[in-house]
């Protein structure tokens, strides 16, 4: 397994030099305590915990997996102790309200912490990670009594949370949910049904698990309009928050998975389990999107995490492993062969990984500032500001989730490729990174679902292209501002053309979709990937602009770091950004052949 080291230099570069997190935090209601010294202390301690506690459990947790016995689940050796250290460090409540025992710091700090944790050990990170969405949903849609009863222990990490959507007969199509909720005289509900693929659905890390469950009331209309949302604890809880009898929810099995084997993915059976409604009747799907959006951004982090971990492993190997001579001549004449890193194709793979990890990190941190502004609007009681930032984040969310997980998977595959045959062998850990990365493009909505959400819902239905126009206007302003800079002018010219083309493509699809509804589905993934490549180009140009400015001021300090930023940006614009050409052409090309085959014509066995 790669020896994970938190990329603190790159994280500090983005936070302090590119995105001005100190100035950003100064504007927030909950940002006064996020001083530079406090943020630096959090980064250092989080890195220490991830490198020394979580990373050593990554390979062993994968090899051992979770143990299931008569409804009880035991996590791999070391996980329980690591989780106790996680709680003792106060990490779970980092970005949650002080009134419930949290530290009340901005949400972005929690996300940055999660990136380090996820890179060190994604399976472990899923246990506390699902709790974050549970808490956010409860905070927004639970009544004061429920929040007072459950939030303190969720914030401390003593209890964990889940999201229970999927059922055996339905995944994405939640209109088919059949779990029932029967009203009781005391205001509670009896929940009955089966949920599958429940991450962290059962384990031995916490004393109680709080499930957020979609179910139907007896009078529910059909489809998604008839879904309500409920809080269902694993154990009953009295008015003082003490754990009582086991509720009517049990684990029927654990899924046998390709990757993230140390994360318990459970089949949960609800047999008249007592629960309480969150939000309004028949509007559960709307409330669940609070959880879903949190989870989707968290999954986007997974793309960056696996790209980073695979890159660290591949880079170390490429510097040590020797094979043949570089085509341009011997680079290490005293050795029998040159190191892999001298070969152009290996550099192509390494630089692609580096671009994905560092470019994706910039995209995530930028979006995290949107999330901070959104929470700031909520804390300030400014509904208009909350809605504004929620809309801006909503546009980026499917791009982040769909694009970054697809590229994270590609980067993990390239990491194996750098190792050659050794990458296919378990002892090096590179194949585990790819197995763990594979789920990221599937759960919380597949790439196709993210693409439909972006193009069909956010771009065409809700804003008729306005969200693209707004974002590309920012890109155009950046390009204009730096257009005369000798080192940046080529980036700016390219960005200007792409910003215009992104709007053109949006308009073309908008007009064509009036006559051909299937066009939206046929073009959506190409549209998402195009959007992702252009967005990442913008963030690489941002980083290049800061690096160029620092180099212009002279001085030897960090010179190699800034030069590397510029050269990596060159690679992105020269070798990865041209992929937009294929996506642009594909999304506009006729798709008739895609729909004309009958089901029988797909195979002749």
Please report the pLDDT score of residue 292 as a whole number.
66
Q: Catalytic residue positions?
A: 444
Q: What is the SS3 string spanning 331-389?
A: CCCCCCCCEHHHCHHHHHHHHHHHHHHHHHHHHHHHHHHHHHHHHHHHHCCCHHHHHHH
Measured at the alpha carbon of residue 201, what is the angle toward residues 196 and 202, in degrees to the nearest 5? Answer: 125
Mean pLDDT by 10 residues, the chain (605 residues): 94 98 97 97 98 98 97 98 97 95 96 97 96 91 96 97 93 88 97 97 98 96 92 96 96 97 98 97 82 75 98 98 94 95 98 98 96 92 93 95 98 98 96 98 94 96 96 98 96 98 98 92 97 98 97 85 98 98 96 90 88
Give the length of the chain. 605
Q: How far apart are CA 181 and CA 492, in angstroms?
A: 56
Question: The domain at 287-448 falls in which architecture?
Answer: Up-down Bundle (1.20)
pTM: 0.96
Q: How far apart are CA 360 and CA 518, in angstroms?
A: 31
Please report the pLDDT score of residue 298 as a whole number.
84
Of 503, 516, 526, nearest in space to 582 by CA:
526
Please report the pLDDT score of residue 1 as a whole number.
79
Other beta carbons within 10 angstroms of residue 474's beta carbon come to 11
Please report the pLDDT score of residue 299 as a whole number.
87
Query: How is the chain split into domains, by residue range?
Result: 287-448, 451-591
User: From residue 148, how far is each of 82, 96, 100, 293 by CA, in Å?
Assistant: 27, 14, 8, 24
Q: How far apart are CA 527 and CA 580, in angstroms?
A: 9
């Amino acid at each position: 397994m790669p020896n994970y080291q938190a990329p603190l230099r790159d994280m500090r570069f983005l936070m302090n030099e590119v995105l001005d997190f100190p100035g950003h935090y100064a504007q927030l209601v909950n940002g006064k305590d996020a001083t530079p010294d406090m943020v630096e202390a959090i980064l250092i301690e989080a890195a220490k915990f991830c490198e020394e506690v979580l990373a050593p459990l990554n390979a062993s947790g994968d090899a051992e997996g979770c143990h299931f016995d008569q409804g009880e689940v035991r996590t791999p050796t070391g996980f329980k102790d690591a989780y106790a250290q996680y709680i003792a460090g106060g990490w779970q409540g980092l970005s949650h309200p002080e009134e419930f025992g949290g530290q009340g710091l901005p949400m972005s700090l929690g996300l940055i912490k999660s990136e380090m944790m996820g890179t060190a050990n994604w399976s472990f990170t899923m246990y506390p990670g699902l709790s974050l969405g549970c808490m956010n949903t409860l905070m927004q849609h639970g009544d004061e009594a429920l929040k007072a009863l459950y939030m303190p222990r969720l914030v401390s990490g003593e209890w964990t949370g889940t999201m229970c959507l999927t059922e055996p007969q339905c995944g994405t199509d939640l209109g088919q949910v059949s779990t029932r909720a029967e009203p009781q005289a005391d205001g509670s509900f009896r929940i009955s049904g089966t949920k599958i693929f429940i991450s962290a659905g059962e384990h031995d890390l916490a004393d109680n698990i709080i499930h957020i469950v979609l179910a139907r009331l007896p009078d529910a209309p059909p489809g998604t309009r008839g879904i309500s949302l409920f809080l269902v604890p694993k154990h009953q809880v009295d008015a003082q928050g003490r754990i009582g009898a086991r509720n009517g929810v049990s684990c029927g099995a654990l899924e046998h998975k390709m990757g993230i084997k140390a994360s318990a993915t459970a089949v949960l059976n609800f047999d008249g389990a007592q629960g309480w409604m969150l939000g309004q009747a028949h509007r559960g799907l709307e409330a669940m999107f609070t959880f879903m959006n949190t989870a989707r951004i968290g999954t986007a982090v997974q793309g960056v995490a696996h790209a980073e971990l695979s890159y660290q492993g591949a880079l170390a190997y490429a510097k040590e492993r020797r094979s043949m001579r570089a085509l341009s001549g011997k680079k290490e004449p005293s050795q029998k062969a040159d190191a892999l890193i001298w070969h152009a194709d290996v550099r192509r793979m390494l630089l692609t990984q580096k671009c994905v990890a560092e470019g994706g990190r910039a995209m995530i941190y930028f979006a995290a500032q949107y999330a901070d502004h959104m929470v700031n609007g909520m804390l300030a009681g400014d509904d208009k500001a909350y809605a504004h930032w929620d809309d801006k984040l909503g546009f980026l969310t499917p791009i982040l989730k769909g694009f970054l997980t697809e590229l994270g998977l590609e980067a993990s595959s390239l990491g194996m490729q750098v190792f050659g045959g050794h990458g296919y062998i378990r002892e090096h850990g590179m194949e585990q990174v790819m197995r763990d990365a594979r789920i990221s493009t599937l759960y919380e909505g597949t790439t196709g679902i993210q693409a439909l959400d972006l193009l069909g819902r956010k771009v065409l239905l809700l804003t008729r292209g306005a969200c693209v126009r707004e974002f590309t206007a920012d890109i155009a302003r950046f390009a204009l501002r730096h257009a005369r800079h000798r080192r940046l002018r080529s980036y700016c010219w390219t960005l200007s053309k792409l910003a215009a083309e992104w709007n053109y493509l949006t308009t073309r699809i908008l007009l064509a979709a009036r006559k051909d509804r299937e066009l939206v589905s046929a073009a959506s993934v190409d549209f998402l990937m195009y959007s992702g490549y252009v967005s990442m180009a913008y963030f690489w140009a941002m980083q290049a602009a800061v690096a160029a400015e620092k180099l212009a001021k002279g001085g030897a300090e960090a010179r190699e770091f800034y030069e590397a930023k510029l050269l990596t940006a060159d690679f992105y614009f020269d070798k990865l950004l041209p992929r937009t050409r294929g996506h642009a052409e594909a999304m506009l090309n006729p798709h008739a052949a895609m729909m004309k085959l009958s089901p029988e014509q797909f195979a002749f066995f």
